[in-house]
Amino acid sequence: MEALIEQGQVWFPPDQRVERFDTLQDLHAAIDARDIPFSGSTPLLTRDTPDLAQWVGRRIGYGRPRLKKFKDGLKNENAPISSWLTPRAEADTVGDALNLPIVGATDEGSRVLKEVMGDKAFPYPKPLSLIKNLLAQATRPGDTVLDFFAGSGTTGQAVLELNAEDGGSPLNPRRFILCSSTEATAREPDKNLCRDVCAERLRRVIAGYGDRPGHALAQGGEFAYLQLDKVDGADLLLDAQPQHAATLLCLRNTGLAPVDTAQSAIQLVAKDADWLLVLCQDSAPATLEALRALHQQHDAARLLVVTPRPEALALWLQEQGIAGQTQSLRAALAQGQEQGYRSRVTIAP
């Protein structure tokens, strides 16, 4: 121990006093005055501490030495997948030379959420600084961040702020996918946490709140709010509407949600230099004529047509001399539950 102290590897707290309380009333008075030992911002003794009376008459130290460990001194050359973060309450225990991120706790999360929403809106939100520092270490511009328990949307705000700090580019901002439940109950059947807290928070952050600027499109300053519903496989074609198919196909092939899902017989879902992905809802003469015109408009690009009657439409394409392939609407809808993105967007030669 003496050698460690000589090498400066032991940190001594500034408050090293020792107290002894002769009565339980004296100990209660110290607890009420918050004049008791703390671990960070957490008191080590409270009135609810089990067997509190056993501390009466004992010597109680107000600080404890800590062993310093430096990242560059680790014996293992392969660093584990972990993060070096320091709680703000313990910032004074870290030397400036380490340059470790200082992060807040739940109280910071509540304060930031109140600044954005005007009230707490959500219990125990994650601290923004913590999520930002974790994402700064784990992601790069162009990455997609998935938070499957999004809560109040802290992860989305962290992604937006990181994009702003990076300068942002229309080609490579970080993106986020946030999933949350409504948390509706029998007593609150209309409650929708995802819509009213998570999505609303992101709208306000993107628009700008308080004295903080908003976030431009180049910084990922837009998002789509979508709702998932369960559909029985046997009822898929009965329950799924054309706009559902258009949204699913667009998300799958472009990573974007369509702004306009107006019900029309022909919908252009996605395109590239030499192919078009089209949703064709029927095989009426007017619909087929619109499909022919769309093909001509885009310089005879190869067609991939999703339709309820793929065999009939494939025969029509062959008769018209139009290069393309068809897929059944039911297969396209169910495919989203079965396969990965890349296998679904391949255009056959």
- Tens digit of pLDDT for each residue in 284-308? 999 999 998 888 888 767 888 999 8
Higher-pLDDT residue of 339, 296: 296
**For residue 339, is pLDDT > 70?**
no
Neighbours of 250 (CB within 10 A): 22
Both structure tokens of 207: 């628009």
- 310 vs 313: CA distance, rounded Å: 5
Q: Mind giving me the DSSP string for 269-291? A: EEE-SSEEEEEE----HHHHHHH
pLDDT value for 234:
79
Tokens encoding 28: 């209660």
Give the C-alpha separation, 314 to 327, whole Å. Answer: 9
pLDDT class for 90, splitting at 50, 70, 90? Answer: low
Distance (Å, whole) CA 161 – CA 132:
8
Give dist(CA 58, CA 61) in Å, integer: 10
Return the ∠ at Cα 150 (arms to 148 and 134), rounded to 5°.
Answer: 85
pLDDT digit string, tens, across residues 121-154: 888 888 998 899 889 888 988 899 999 999 999 9
- Residue 247 CA to residue 132 CA, distance in Å, equals 31
Report the SS3 class of residue 231. coil
Q: Which residues pair with 307 in a beta bridge?
A: 328
Q: How far apart are CA 225 and CA 149, in angstroms?
A: 15
User: From CA 216, how far away is CA 299, in angstroms rounded?
Assistant: 34
Q: Where are the domains of the chain?
A: 2-66, 106-219, 233-344
Question: Rounded mean pLDDT of the chain?
Answer: 80
Estimate to the nearest angstrom the gap between the alpha carbon of 223 and the chain centroid: 12
pLDDT in tens, 12-32: 777 678 889 999 999 999 999
Give pLDDT, residue 273. Answer: 80
276 is written with which tokens?
């078009």
The CA distance from 317 to 288, in Å, is: 9
Instruction: Residue 238: name the closest of 311, 329, 304 by CA.
Output: 329
